[in-house]
Amino acid sequence: MNNQRKGRDININMACSKSNLNIGIPRAISYYNNYPFYYGFFSKLGIEIILSDKTTTETINNGSKYVVSDTCLPIKVFVGHVINLLDKGCEKIFIPSIQSTDYKINNCSKIRGLPEIIRNVLDKPFQIIEPTLDKTEGIGLKTFCFDIAKEFGITDKNLIESAISYGWNIYNKFCEMTKSGIPQQEALKNAINENIIKKNVELVRPISVVIMAHGYNLFDERISLNLINKLEKMGVKVFTSLNITRNEAINSIHELGEIQYWANELDLTGTAAYYMLNKKVDGIIALSAFGCGPDSLMVDEIQYHAKERNMPMLHLTIDEHTGEAGFITRIEAFIDMLIRSKRKLLQKQHNNLKILREPKKTIEKNKVLTDSLA
């Protein structure tokens, strides 16, 4: 019972007339980027959302039992969340198959095949709500949403369309807040209550880094081992993919001379490229799951460009066995190196303290830190 209450902490005060309609949404993969939209859409349709609990080690262990060992960590976590929802008594579970987000811009095969994996791996009776979003084949968001509504017997066109626009409304609020620098969870909480909060006075921090990672890796506190908080405690300003707009990310990729290939490339290459090109950060941290196909290419791409521009970079690989101690050591070493090189740079450039109030963020002779630091 306690678990159930915890899971529903976000979606309170929903006066739904048809309370027998409910849907389980696993707190993994597309949850971290798209949940505001899902929330708006489902709540307008009068469907109650049951969220799975936050990721724990148990979730990962549960998930790993069902899939082959080569599968990457986020998918194992996803399976764990689905099991968690089934334990809560959920009968309908929302597992979208996001194939491509633009013409010939496809997602990773494992995300495309999520419903296929779940359907075949879990031998339990439940219904999967599995809409497809495939813009290469011309299946857009509208069809995606209509497919969902159909599963609940809702065919009222006007209602569905208003639900879509309400979803966008909440999603935009979420994006507006995250762009101004509000942390993801806080922004999510306020967005679904239709609030917009403004950020208080920003603390000036000496060092800033950008993290290039998928939302489902970075904002999941168990998977990322609370990376953002750890960095902020060290006095580092952290930029993530949520801090920039879609267009900025796309343009930065073009500016680097690359083409977007993966659907979630904006979260990684786009974000890193934006901050690298605008020289807003002192270093790049790449966080990727072991065995991740797209990441292996995107991180390499950024590594190549970072080397050219003398931008320090740290590549962190995580899997279910990653120990926290070794993880912290690597981050600390990286941050120490950033601080030292920045201090050196400033000392070299200016001899008076006046400049230190507004440090010019130009980076020159830094050493490129590669994976070999550990």
CB of 175 to another protein, least distance (A): 18
Q: Which residues are bridge partners to 132 per DSSP?
A: 97
127 φ, ψ (degrees, to nearest 5): -100, 135
Q: CB-wise, 234 or 297, nearer to another protein?
A: 297
Q: CB-wise, 51 or 128, nearer to another protein?
A: 128
Return the range that interacts with another protein (CB under 8 A); candidates 40-48, 57-65, 177-185, 300-308: 300-308
- End-to-end CA distance of the chain, in Å? 44
Query: For the stretch 7-21, what's the b/e string if a residue is b when 16 or more beta carbons lie within 10 angstroms of its beta carbon?
Result: beeebeeeeeeeeeb
Residue 233 touching another protein (CB under 8 A): no
Among residues 295, 306, 327, 342, the one that binds another protein under rule CB under 8 A: 295
CB of 5 to another protein, least distance (A): 33
Among residues 93, 117, 273, 316, the one that binds another protein under rule CB under 8 A: 117
- Residues between 303 and 332 that touch another protein (CB under 8 A): 304
Residue 247 touching another protein (CB under 8 A): yes
Round to whole Å and give the CA distance between 225 and 234: 15
Q: CB-wise, 60 or 191, nearer to another protein?
A: 60
Tell me the CB-side half-sphere exposure of residue 236, using CA atoms within 13 A. Answer: 27
Residue 250 touching another protein (CB under 8 A): yes
Residue 292 touching another protein (CB under 8 A): yes
Return the range that interacts with another protein (CB under 8 A); candidates 40-48, 213-221, 247-255, 268-276: 247-255
Residue 67 touching another protein (CB under 8 A): yes
**In sequence order, what DSSP letters do the residues of 268-309 get, joined into one string?**
IIIHHHHHHHTT--SEEEEEEETT-HHHHHHHHHHHHHHHHT
CB of 297 to another protein, least distance (A): 5
Label residue 261 exposed, middle or buried (CB < 10 Å: 0-12, 13-18, 19+).
middle
Residue 293 touching another protein (CB under 8 A): yes
Query: For the stretch 350-363, what's the b/e string if a residue is b when 16 or more beta carbons lie within 10 angstroms of its beta carbon?
Result: eeeeeeeeeeeeeb
Residue 113 touching another protein (CB under 8 A): yes
Contact 225, 318 (CB under 8 A): yes
Number of residues that bind another protein (CB under 8 A): 44
49 φ, ψ (degrees, to nearest 5): -100, 130
Return the range that interacts with another protein (CB under 8 A); candidates 26-34, 167-175, 299-307, 319-327: 299-307
CB of 247 to another protein, least distance (A): 8
Round to whole Å and give the CA distance between 309 and 288: 22
For 123-254, list the strands marked E by DSSP: 127-129, 132-134, 207-212, 236-239
DSSP 366: P
| Beta-carbon contacts of residue 365 (< 8 Å; ≥ 6 apart) | 310, 341, 345
Question: Helix 141-151 crosses helix 157-179 at what angle (to 10 degrees)?
Answer: 120
Among residues 51, 108, 302, 331, the one that binds another protein under rule CB under 8 A: 108
What does the per-residue mask of binding to another protein show for 184-203, with x meaning CB under 8 A?
Answer: --------------------
Q: Scan for tokens 């993966």, then name that residue.
A: 262
Residue 116 touching another protein (CB under 8 A): yes
Closest alpha carbon to 373 in 313, 291, 306, 293? 313
Residue 245 touching another protein (CB under 8 A): no
Residue 46 touching another protein (CB under 8 A): no
CB of 109 to another protein, least distance (A): 4
Residue 270 touching another protein (CB under 8 A): no
Return the range that interacts with another protein (CB under 8 A); candidates 43-51, 214-222, 229-237, 250-258: 250-258
Given the rule CB under 8 A, which residues bind another protein?
Answer: 67-68, 70-71, 97, 99-100, 102-104, 106, 108-110, 112-113, 115-117, 119-121, 123, 130, 132, 136, 247, 250-251, 254, 258-259, 261, 291-297, 299-301, 304
